[in-house]
């Protein structure tokens, strides 16, 4: 066993772990990075990158079949599913060098390709190495949650970790789970020629604003996706023809050729032996305080394994939070009120801060909701992407949340994240100038919608204007 010592040990080479390792090493810390599987973690290999790449293929196919509105003849796309998966793998391969072992070794990081296991509060064993570190960051991410549904173990099924290896297009894809992963893969596959049924135990896209989510669900149903809500899967079995049958608790039966499980995620903590380190855990993952420090003062947890919001950009944000405290000994706390998320269906669905329902519950009569519809945006009309809506929740002149559905919603929501993070006023957003014609005008126009009643419906404003006009030379 080779003995090593370091300032900082990072366990997991996903988005958060890589950010911590690169930043700490380049600022002078002695860093060891452990990764027992693939560099880049879930996002690069099984999550964000491949899913968005497959959606891009699906978008092209859909565009061919729906071109006549632009004066171009519709053409039924000839989809080569295996070639679409080649496109996915090519994108992964293009990005992979950015997350590669060689690149991080170039930063001065010692990379060990092995899983880590705690043996005490500051020592971790990995392969043939025994590492003693002053500070340790757990960044092991999460994996697909596979619930104990009766019969599931006896049938073939996919998760996001295996779906992108599938080379033959599913004839009829059953998806259990109506969250972002399930709905994105549903739209990708319906556009690539599969029949698709989504089976959701509660409400599809249930974490988002119901009014905005319904716009997405209407579009998906219009494209031919069957979305069964309130359908809690009770049993799963193979059919005589080699297919899959899912039976819901209410008796509904769904038959298909392939099954994708997309019901959520679980933190990757099983291999870590956290008890030996005195690190407290719960069902969500590692228990951390606002500074992302665990019950062991030497150990931090970031990203999905920290038990909070499970998004790649959250892991990157967490990395910045702990770099400040680990390297410089300065107080630094993670916040969640400015963290956005997006579902990359068409139309996209995005959220930051409080939804309207949450804001009404928290702020009551102090809440004002500004709205603006995409069909008043000229660029959206020009591109025939005018199905959409933005709502901004405002308290005392400052945004506390924004919900967006429509073309480029994931891009638009970033401005509201910045506004909330910096405690900006609606007047400051209204003061920006967006180039015309762009979708980004939606943000300015919704800020204008907040002020319109104050300017155009105010008798006082009218009296002031009339008075000034009488006295102006």
- pLDDT tens digits, residue range 310-322? 999 999 999 999 9
179 known ligand binder: yes
Identify the burial level of 332 via C-beta atoms within 10 angstroms of its C-beta, where 0-12 means exposed, 13-18 middle and 19 or more buried. Answer: middle
pLDDT of residue 237: 97
200 known ligand binder: yes
Mean pLDDT of 112-116: 97
Tokens (6 digits) for 405: 């559905």
Query: The tokens 């960051």 sit on which residue?
Result: 137
Q: Is the pLDDT of residue 335 over 70?
A: yes
Residue 11, H or E segment: strand 2-11
Whole-angstrom distance, CA of residue 190 vs CA of residue 171: 10
pLDDT of residue 182: 98
183 known ligand binder: yes
pLDDT of residue 452: 81
pLDDT of residue 277: 97
- Tell me the CA distances in angstroms from 128 to 1, 89, 114, 116, 435, one per residue in order: 5, 32, 9, 11, 58
Residue 10, H or E segment: strand 2-11
- Would you give the distance in Å from CA 50 to the centre of its chain? 13
326 known ligand binder: no
176 forms beta bridges with 199, 261
264 known ligand binder: yes
The band of 461, judged by pLDDT with boundaries at 50, 70 and 90, is confident
DSSP 3-state percent helix, strand, coil across the chain (nearest 5): 40, 25, 35
**For residue range 227-254, what is the model confidence (pLDDT) as tens digits?**
999 999 999 999 988 899 999 999 999 9
178 known ligand binder: yes
* φ and ψ at residue 85, rounded to 5 degrees: -70, -30
Round to the nearest angstrom and report the end-to-end CA distance of the chain: 90
Contacts of 119 (CB under 8 A, 6+ apart): 125, 130, 273, 276
* CB neighbours of residue 436 within 10 Å: 9
Q: Is the pLDDT of residue 430 over 80?
A: yes
458 known ligand binder: no
Residue 9, H or E segment: strand 2-11
181 known ligand binder: yes
Give the three-state DSSP class for 388. coil
- Would you give the distance in Å from CA 100 to the centre of its chain? 23
Tokens (6 digits) for 363: 């702020």
102 known ligand binder: no
- Tell me the CA distances in angstroms from 365 to 124, 201, 394, 400, one per residue in order: 53, 34, 11, 14
pLDDT of residue 447: 97
Mean pLDDT of 149-175: 97
Q: What is the DSSP letter of 275?
A: G
pLDDT of residue 144: 96
Q: Is the pLDDT of residue 22 over 80?
A: yes
- Tell me the CA distances in angstroms from 94 to 37, 59, 466, one per residue in order: 19, 21, 63
**For residue range 172-182, what is the model confidence (pLDDT) as tens digits?**
999 999 999 99
The band of 453, judged by pLDDT with boundaries at 50, 70 and 90, is confident
Whole-angstrom distance, CA of residue 312 vs CA of residue 339: 11
Nearest-CA neighbor of 174 among 51, 258, 58? Answer: 258
Mean pLDDT of 37-58: 96
Give the three-state DSSP class for 341. strand
Q: Is the pLDDT of residue 364 over 90?
A: yes
**For residue range 271-316, what is the model confidence (pLDDT) as tens digits?**
999 999 999 999 999 999 999 999 999 999 999 999 999 999 999 9
Whole-angstrom distance, CA of residue 267 vs CA of residue 59: 32
pLDDT of residue 455: 67
Least reliable range by pLDDT among 212-221, 249-258, 464-473: 464-473
Sequence-distant contacts of 144-147: CB under 8 A, at least 24 apart: 144/261, 144/262, 144/264, 144/265, 144/266, 145/263, 145/264, 145/265, 145/266, 146/261, 146/263, 147/261, 147/263
15 known ligand binder: no
Signed CA dihedral, 62, 66, 69, 75: sign only? positive
pLDDT of residue 337: 95
140 known ligand binder: yes
Q: Is the pLDDT of residue 471 over 90?
A: no
Whole-angstrom distance, CA of residue 458 vs CA of residue 469: 17
CA angle 231, 235, 241 (to 5 degrees): 105
Domains plus CATH for the chain?
2-39+100-143+266-328 (3.50.50.60), 152-264 (3.50.50.60), 340-456 (3.30.390.30)
Mean pLDDT of the chain: 96
* 173 within 8 A of 165, measured Cβ to Cβ: no
230 known ligand binder: no
308 known ligand binder: no
141 known ligand binder: yes
pLDDT of residue 296: 98
Least reliable range by pLDDT among 211-215, 352-356, 402-406, 453-457: 453-457
Whole-angstrom distance, CA of residue 363 vs CA of residue 323: 34
- Tell me the CA distances in angstroms from 335 to 292, 357, 422, one per residue in order: 10, 21, 12
* 159 within 8 A of 146, measured Cβ to Cβ: yes
Whole-angstrom distance, CA of residue 465 vs CA of residue 111: 69
pLDDT of residue 241: 85
92 known ligand binder: no
Q: What is the DSSP letter of 150?
A: B
What pTM did the predictor assign?
Answer: 0.94
């Amino acid at each position: 066993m080779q003995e090593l010592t370091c300032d900082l040990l990072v366990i997991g080479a996903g988005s958060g772990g890589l950010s911590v390792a690169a930043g700490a090493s380049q600022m002078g810390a002695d860093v060891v990075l452990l990764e027992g599987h693939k560099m880049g973690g879930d996002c690069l290999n099984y999550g964000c990158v491949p899913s968005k790449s497959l959606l891009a293929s699906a978008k092209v196919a859909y565009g061919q079949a729906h071109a006549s509105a632009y004066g171009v003849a519709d053409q039924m796309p000839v989809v080569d599913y295996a070639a679409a998966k080649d496109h996915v793998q090519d994108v992964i391969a293009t990005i992979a060098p950015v997350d590669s072992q060689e690149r991080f070794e170039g930063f001065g990081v010692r990379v060990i390709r092995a899983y880590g296991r705690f043996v005490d509060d500051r020592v971790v064993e990995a392969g043939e190495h025994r590492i003693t570190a002053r500070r340790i960051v757990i960044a092991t991410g999460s994996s697909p949650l596979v619930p104990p549904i009766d019969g599931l173990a006896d049938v073939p099924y996919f998760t996001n970790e295996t779906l992108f290896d599938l080379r033959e297009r599913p004839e009829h894809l059953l998806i259990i789970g109506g969250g972002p992963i399930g709905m994105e893969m549903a739209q990708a596959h319906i556009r690539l020629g599969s029949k698709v049924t989504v089976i959701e135990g509660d409400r599809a896209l249930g974490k988002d604003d119901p009014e905005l989510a319904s716009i997405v669900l209407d579009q998906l149903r219009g494209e031919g996706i069957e979305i069964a809500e309130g359908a809690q899967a009770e049993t799963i079995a193979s059919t005589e023809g080699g297919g899959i049958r899912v039976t819901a608790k209410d008796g509904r039966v769904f038959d298909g050729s392939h099954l994708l499980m997309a019901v959520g995620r679980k933190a990757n903590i099983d291999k870590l032996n956290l008890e030996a380190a005195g690190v407290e855990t719960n069902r969500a993952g590692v228990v951390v305080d606002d500074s992302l420090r665990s019950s062991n003062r030497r150990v931090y947890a970031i990203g999905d394994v920290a038990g909070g919001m499970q998004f790649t950009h959250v892991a990157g944000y967490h990395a910045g939070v702990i770099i400040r405290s680990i390297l410089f000994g300065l107080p630094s706390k993670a916040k969640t009120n400015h963290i956005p998320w997006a579902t990359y269906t068409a139309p996209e669905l995005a959220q930051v801060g409080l939804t309207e329902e949450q804001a009404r519950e928290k702020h009551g009569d102090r809440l004002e909701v500004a709205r603006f519809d995409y069909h008043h945006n000229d660029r959206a009309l020009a591109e025939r992407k005018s199905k959409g809506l933005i709502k901004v929740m405002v308290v005392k002149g400052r945004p506390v949340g924004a919900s967006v559905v429509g073309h480029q919603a994931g891009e638009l929501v970033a401005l509201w994240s910045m506004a909330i993070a910096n405690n900006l006023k609606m007047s400051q957003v209204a003061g920006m100038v967006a180039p015309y014609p762009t979708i980004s005008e939606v943000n300015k126009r919704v800020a204008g919608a907040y002020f319109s009643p104050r300017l155009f419906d105010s008798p006082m404003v009218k009296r002031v204007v009339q008075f000034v006009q009488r006295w102006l030379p």
